[in-house]
Amino acid sequence: MKKTILVALVTSLFASLSFAAAPSADKIKKAFPILAEYNVSITDSLEDDSLYIYKSLVRTQQGVRPTQFYVTKDLKRIIFGDAFSKDGEKIKIAADLTKIEKDAAWKWGTGKDKYYVFTDPECPYSQRMQKRFSDPKSGAYYFFLYPLSFHANAKDMSAYILEQESKKKGAGHEAALLIAESGDYKTALSKIDPKKRAEYAAKIEANIKLGDSLGVSGTPSVFNAKGESVDWTKVIK
């Protein structure tokens, strides 16, 4: 089926499946020097009927933004934004967030539907969300720590959560709830071995980079397994 491109300069979120037969990232960068000018790095690609599709990260002063662009097969045109088929379906690289589960800080719930939650333990909105979890069968939630730069205690809180999770699987969720309910975490935090603190700091930074690559800019941010942003108030019980 022929594809018709309708361009809209908006940010899109896509998680990778595999590299297809599209030209290599190096070849595309050479064909379009503008990619280097705008600090665009290619992370995945796919060949469509009439287009090459590329998933990429754009580095700006405001941080890293994920986006998708399209290249015509004669390598003469590059188009940023969204593309749609004549039936109105968005043309994109299929999403699969199950690949990031191993990087989660903790998991909660046993439900069939999977959700991926980026949270800041000091963020009042994240705390409000944390208090809402009650039915483990409502979904399987994978939590990633995303302390925001303007929250002075967020990284310490995150380290405390990881320390509790290291002692007992699932305890990270309880620790996050304790913080949300104004519990004291500083006493336990002061007892963490410096070496373990360094390990936790690396884990937190890895979670932040992962969130950046997915376009997270605020907390809480929740995605389904297809990489689609969802309203947490409608899925969390």
- Specify the CATH number for the domain of residue 151: 3.40.30.10
CB 212 within 8 A of CB 202: no
Do 191 and 223 share a structural domain? Answer: yes
Q: Say yes or no: 212 and 103 in one domain.
A: yes
pLDDT average, residue stretch 121-137: 94
Residues 57 and 103 in one domain: no
Out of 65, 94, 123, a domain closes at 94
Q: Are residues 162 and 77 in the same domain?
A: no
User: Do residues 54 and 159 both lie within one domain?
Assistant: no
173-189: string of b/e by CB count within 10 Å (b at 16+)? bebbbbbbeeeebeeeb
> What is the mean predicted confidence (pLDDT) over 92-100?
80
Say which DSSP state 144 is in.
E
Over residues 76-96, the mean pLDDT reads 81
For residues 188 and 78, membership in a common domain is answered with no
Residue 120 has pLDDT above 80, yes or no: yes
Q: Are residues 108 and 86 in the same domain?
A: no
pLDDT above 70 for 201: yes
The residue among 49, 64, 94 that closes a domain is 94
Most confident range, picked from 59-63, 191-195, 197-201:
197-201
| Residues 40 and 132 placed together within one structural domain of the fold | no
Structural domain boundaries enclosing 126:
97-235
pLDDT band for position 86 (50/70/90)? confident
Final residue of a domain: which of 43, 63, 94? Answer: 94
Is the pLDDT reported for residue 19 higher than 50? no
Number of domains in the chain: 2
Residues 6+ apart with CB under 8 A from 208: 145, 146, 147
84 and 105 in a single domain? The answer is no
| Same-domain pairing of 34 and 134 | no
Q: How far is CA 161 from CA 61, 79, 119, 149, 164, in A?
A: 30, 43, 12, 18, 5
Q: Are residues 83 and 106 in the same domain?
A: no
Same domain, 128 and 185: yes
Contact 63, 192 (CB under 8 A): no
